[in-house]
Chain A
C-alpha cells in the first residue's frame, strides 16, 4: 500500500517522535514535574515513583496518602519497566506516538479513507498541542490515560470490539471518571464512525449487540480489578485510587473546579456536594448520546470535552485531548459561533494559570484567589469550546449560512 503521499506522514511522524524524544531527554522535565497544572496527585510521576519505591521496600503504598495510582502502574513499573529517566522518556514518547497514531487512524476511519493529506495535520495537532505536550514532558500519567482512551476509540471506530473494550477496561482502571465514555464508545461499536452530522437520522444499530459488549466489558473490568487486587494484596487500593476521585482527599490545586470548592466547603455539606459534582458528570451521558445517536463518535468527543471541564483532579491534558480531537471534525468549523472568543479565553487562561500559580505558591505575593480566578477563566474557555462544539454539531444539519437568514434557537 505504499503510495507516494504516505511518505510525508511517515516522515513528519518520525520527525515529530524524534523531536519529542529529544526534548524529553533534556532536563526540562525537572521544571515541569512538580507543576500542579500538568500532573494531579492522581497522575503525578513523583507520587508514582514514591509508590513504587514503597512497594519495592515492602511498605504497602496504599496504606499512606501519597500513592493514588492504579495497581496496574505498580505492576508495570515493578516487573517490566523501571521508573528511570530514560525508560520514562521512552514510554511517554511512545504513549504520545500511540495517541497521535490513533488520532490519524480515527480520522481515516471517520472518513472511510486509507490516507489523506490531513493525516499530518491531525498527528501534528496531537503532538504539538501544548496542553498535551507539557503534561507528557512532566511524565504525568494522564498522557498514558489519553493514549489508552484514544486507543479505545480507535479500535471502536475500526470495529475491533474486544480490543476496544479491553482498552476501555484499562482506561476505567486507570481513571474512574472515564466511565463517562463507556456508553458512547459501546454505541460507536454498534454504529459507524462515519460522519452523519449533516444528515441526522434515528439510531440504526442493534441494541441487542450492545448487551454483549457490556457483558464483555464487565468481564474485562472484573479481571483487571482482580489482577489489581492481587498486585496490591488487598482491596485498600480501591478507596485510594477510585475513591480519591469521588471523595477528593487531596486538595492540591489543579486547573479544575473541584479543589478550591472543596477547600472552602463547610464540612457538613462536603458529602452532599461531592455527590452533586460526581452525579453532575454522569448527567451528561444520556442527553448527549440521545441527541447525537446518529454520530456516536461525536458524542464521545463531546463527553471527552465534559470530562475536560468537570473532572475531579483535572490536568491540562484532559481539555487538551478535547481540543486536539476538534481536528477530527473539520466539517463543523464553519458553524462555530464564537471561535475567536474561545481562543482568546484559552490564551488568557494559559497565561494566567502558571503566572498566578507561581505568584501564590512560589513568590508568595498572590493568594489562593488569584489561581482560583484563573481556573474559573480556564473553565469558561473550555465551557465555551464545548458549547460551541455542541452548537456546531447540531447547526450543521440545517445547512450552510445564507445571507438574510439566521439560524437560532427559540
Chain B
C-alpha cells in the first residue's frame, strides 16, 4: 500500500480507532464464546433424555447361567447289599438323561440313616415302614427309574398337561361364578352356600400352595347368561355340547366375568345352570357318545361345570353346602391342574400318617418347575429389555427401570446362591426376578420419545444454529489463524 493514497483520504484511518484494535475484537469474540460455553451445560440439561446405562454384560452373563438343583438319591444299604451294581446303573441312567432333567444334578449314593433328613434326600427302601413311599423290592431298574422320573420331573411326560398350567404369578384371583342361563325361564338358582364349599374344597389347596401364591377369592351369581350358540338337541330330550361347542362355550361378550380392578391373573370357575327349557345339558365325546364328566377345563383360564338341577325342585332354589359338596371336588381338581400340581405315580403311596393334601414330592416338583419357569422368564425379559434399549437410541431409561433391572439381576444371583439349600427360597427369588424384569420391560416411561426420529431433531436445530453459529465459528477460526501468523512472524523476526 502506498502511503501517498492514505494522505489523500479525508477520513480518519479506521485502523487507528480504538475499537478496531485486535484486543477489542478478540475480547468480543471470546465473550460470545464464553456465554455459549457457559450455556452448554444448560443445553445438555434441557435436551438430554434420561438414559441410564443398563448392566448389559451382567444380563448376558446371567442369561447363560443355568439354574440347577442338586438332588441326592440315597439308597438304603439293604438294597445295595442285594445288588451292589444298582448304584452305578442308576447314576448312569440319570447321567444319560437330558431334556427336562437338565436342571437337576442327581447324585446316587448309598445313604446312612444320619444324612436322611436333608431336604433333597430320597430314601428308597424296600421294607414296610417307608416314610416317603413304599414299593415291592423285587423291582426292575427301568421301573424304578420310571417311578423316580414321575416323582422328580412329572412334567416331562405330558405336554398336554403342561399347556394347561397357568403362567406363574405371585397372586391369583379365584373367581367363582354361578351362571343361570335364563332365570326367567322357570327355575332359578338364587344363590349358593359358597363360604362353606370354599372352606372345605378350596381352602386346603390355597393353604397348601401358600408358599407359591397368594389367592383372593371372589364370587358372583348371574341370572341371565345366554350361550353364544344353540346346544344340539339329543334323542333323549337332553341337549349336548360337542367338543367344538366347548371351545366357544365362554360367552365373554355377555357374561361379565373379567375383573377390571386389578392386574392379578384370574382363574375362573363357572357353575353353569342351563335354562329349564334346555335341560339336561350334557357334554359329548368327540365320537358323539355321552361323556361321563359334566365339567371341562379351559387351559390357563379356568374350569366350567354344568349343573342340571332336578325338575321337581321349586322354582327358586338355593344350593346348600351339601349340594355343593358333590360339585366342588371337580373345581378343586381343576384348580390343581391349572396351578400345575402334578399327580403321584400310581405305585407311590403316601404313608398313611401323612394327612396333608399334597405330598412333599408334589410340592417340591412344583416348586422346581415354577423356579425354572420364572428363571427362564426373567432372563428372557431382561435380555429383551437390554436389546430393545440398545436398538432404539431415543428410548429413555429412567431410574425406576434401572433399579428394576438391577433388582431382577440381584434376585437371580441370590437364587443361584441358595438353590442348593432351599427350594422355597429359590422359588421366591425366581418369582421376584421375574416380577422385576417384567416391570422394567413394561415401564411406560420408556415409550416417551419413541416416535421422534433424529431427522426431525436436525430440522429443529438447523435453522437457528446453522445460521447463527457459522459466523461465530468462522470469526473464531479467522482470529485464531491470524493470531498464529502473528505469532510466527514475531518468532521469525
Contact = CB atoms under 8 A, between A and B. Distances in A.
A and B in contact, CB less than 8 Å: yes
Interface of A: 200-202, 266, 268-269, 271-272, 274-276, 279, 282-283, 286-287, 290-292, 294, 394, 397-400, 402, 405, 407
A274 B36 CA distance: 15
A398 B28 contact: no
Q: Which of B19, B452, B456 has the most CB of A within 10 A?
A: B19
Contacts of B460: 266, 269
Nearest to A277: B464
Interface stretch (B5-13, B54-62, B368-376): B5-13
Contacts of A268: 47, 449, 452
Given A202-B18, A397-B19, 7 more contacts: A272-B43, A279-B42, A286-B31, A286-B34, A287-B28, A291-B24, A405-B10
Contacts of B11: 398-400, 402, 405, 407
A398 B39 contact: no
A275 B18 contact: no
Interface in B268-306: none
Interface string B48-92: 000000000000000000000000000000000000000000000
Given A269-B460, A271-B46, A275-B46, A405 B35 contact: no
Nearest to B452: A268
B31 A275 contact: no
Nearest to A283: B35
B437 to A, nearest CB: 29
Contacts of B24: 290-291
B444 to A, nearest CB: 16
B352 interface: no
B17 A397 contact: yes
Nearest to A410: B14
Contacts of A405: 9-11
B27 interface: yes
Given A398-B14, A399-B10, A290 B35 contact: no
B483 interface: no
B32 interface: yes
Contacts of A407: 11, 14
A278 B470 CA distance: 20
Nearest to B48: A272
Contact of B39 (A275, A287, A290, A399): A275
A275 B44 CA distance: 11
Contact of A290 (B10, B28, B449, B456): B28
A44 to B, nearest CB: 29
A200 B19 contact: yes
Contacts of A292: 19
B8 to A, nearest CB: 9
A292 B18 CA distance: 10
Contacts of B28: 286-287, 290-291
Interface of B: 9-12, 14, 17-19, 24, 27-28, 31-32, 34-36, 39, 42-43, 46-47, 449, 452, 456, 460, 464
A398 B12 CA distance: 5
Nearest to A408: B14
A294 B34 contact: no
B10 to A, nearest CB: 5
A274 B39 CA distance: 12
Contacts of B14: 397-398, 407
Contact of A269 (B9, B36, B47): B47
A394 B25 CA distance: 13
Nearest to B18: A200
B235 to A, nearest CB: 70
B478 to A, nearest CB: 11
A402 B46 contact: no
16 contacts: A200-B17, A200-B19, A266-B460, A268-B452, A271-B46, A271-B47, A276-B39, A283-B36, A286-B31, A287-B31, A291-B19, A397-B17, A399-B11, A399-B12, A402-B9, A405-B11
B115 to A, nearest CB: 65
A292 B17 CA distance: 12
A276 B464 contact: yes
- 6 closest A-B pairs by beta carbon, nearest first, are A286-B31, A200-B18, A271-B46, A272-B46, A399-B11, A287-B28
A230 to B, nearest CB: 32
B449 A275 contact: no
A294 B452 contact: no
Contacts of A394: 19
Contacts of B31: 286-287, 290
Nearest to A198: B12
B27 A290 contact: yes
Contacts of A275: 39, 42-43, 46
A407 B17 CA distance: 14
Nearest to A287: B28
Contacts of B43: 272, 275-276
Given A290-B24, A291-B24, A201 B18 contact: yes
Contacts of B35: 279, 282-283, 286
A81 to B, nearest CB: 40
Nearest to A270: B46
Contacts of B47: 268-269, 271-272
Nearest to A274: B46
A202 B36 CA distance: 26
Contact of A294 (B18, B27, B36, B42): B18
Contacts of B449: 268
Contacts of B32: 283, 286-287
A272 B32 CA distance: 19
A394 B244 CA distance: 94
Nearest to B49: A268
A271 B31 CA distance: 24
A405 B14 CA distance: 13
A286 to B, nearest CB: 4
Nearest to A279: B39
A407 to B, nearest CB: 7
A286 B464 CA distance: 21
A291 B30 CA distance: 13
A402 B10 contact: yes
A79 to B, nearest CB: 39
A274 B12 CA distance: 44
A397 B19 CA distance: 9
A400 B31 CA distance: 31
Nearest to B36: A283
B44 to A, nearest CB: 10
A25 B354 CA distance: 103
